Amino acid sequence: MDIKKKFIEYKDGENLLEGFMAWDEDTNESRPGILVGHAWAGRSKFECTKAEDLAKLGYVGFALDVYGKGITGKNKEENAKLMTPFIEDRSILQKRLQLALNTLKEQDEVDANKVASIGYCFGGLMSLDLARINAEIHGAVSFHGILSNSENTSNDEIKSRILVLHGWDDPMVPPDSVIGFTEEMKNRKADWQLHAFGGAMHAFTKKDANDPEHGMQYHKASDKRSWLLMQSFLQELFG
């Protein structure tokens, strides 16, 4: 196995964005591409490592960029300032997600007919929004993601399959929000599944998360279980 990595620039008008792609050079055939949506701080080493982990599983991993090349937050205040415009106007977010998807599909290593998305925290919402707008993906995975619906989407049937991996003790996504999400999925006739992990808070996959007072805490068992569930889901999508 020879994992290759490169940064890829793409644009939203005058806004320069930069994704990170990883793939196994030993595989000559094109293979499924998996977008990786970033948390509220922006694309970081964490998401790039996940792209590499996906490459080791036989996919092309692409850690997308919503904020702009080199733009990341350094604390909670900066993170919130970066994320808020995309939460307030989901059409802007969805446009940049579509651009990332198009960029991934253009890569020679990728089978453009086999694409899915995963995402963490804010990135979980990104992954779900790709499904909500019926972007050309086979499946969407959310790890401890925000589940709130987007007001600018239709009530059309969702075509891609959905997997939500949720920490039940996540104060940012309380049970009422989870129930609201399931109703949305039911109304849109989606093929969806949700796995809730007892004792897990927000950011349960992030080893540096250690702020239980604010509901963010790494949870080793849920991290491992959620990754295995994702692998099974992708195997179901692509064989």
Q: What does pTM read for this prediction?
A: 0.96
Distance of CA 218 to the CA centre of its chain: 18
Over residues 226-237, the pLDDT tens digits come to 999 999 999 999
Q: What is the pLDDT of residue 45?
A: 97
Q: What's the pLDDT score for residue 40?
A: 96
Q: Which residues contact 208 (CB under 8 A, 6 or more apart)?
A: 218
Name residue, tokens 């919130």.
80
Beta-carbon count within 10 A of 171 CB: 11
Q: Which residues contact 46 (CB under 8 A, 6 or more apart)?
A: 38, 39, 120, 206
Q: Which residues pair with 119 in a beta bridge?
A: 37, 142
Per-residue HEC secondary structure of 108-141 comes to CCEEEEEEEEEEECHHHHHHHHHHHCCCCCCEEE
Q: How confident is the model at residue 86 (pLDDT cuts 50, 70, 90)?
A: very high
For residue 59, pLDDT beyond 90: yes
pLDDT at 14 over 90: yes
The distance of Cα 225 from the centroid of its chain, to the nearest Å, equals 17
pLDDT tens-digit map of 101-150: 999 999 999 999 999 999 999 999 999 999 999 999 999 999 999 999 98
**Which one, of 17, 60, 64, 24, lies nearest residue 44 by Cα?**
64
pLDDT, residue 187, reads 95
CA distance 17 to 94: 14
Say if residue 28's pLDDT is above 90: no
pLDDT tens readout for residues 168-226: 999 999 999 999 999 999 999 999 999 999 999 999 999 999 999 989 999 999 999 99
Q: What is the pLDDT of residue 153?
A: 85
Domains within the chain, CATH numbers bracketed: 3-238 (3.40.50.1820)
Question: Is 152 a residue whose pLDDT tops 90?
Answer: no
**Residue 23, pLDDT score:** 97
Q: Is the pLDDT of residue 72 over 90?
A: yes
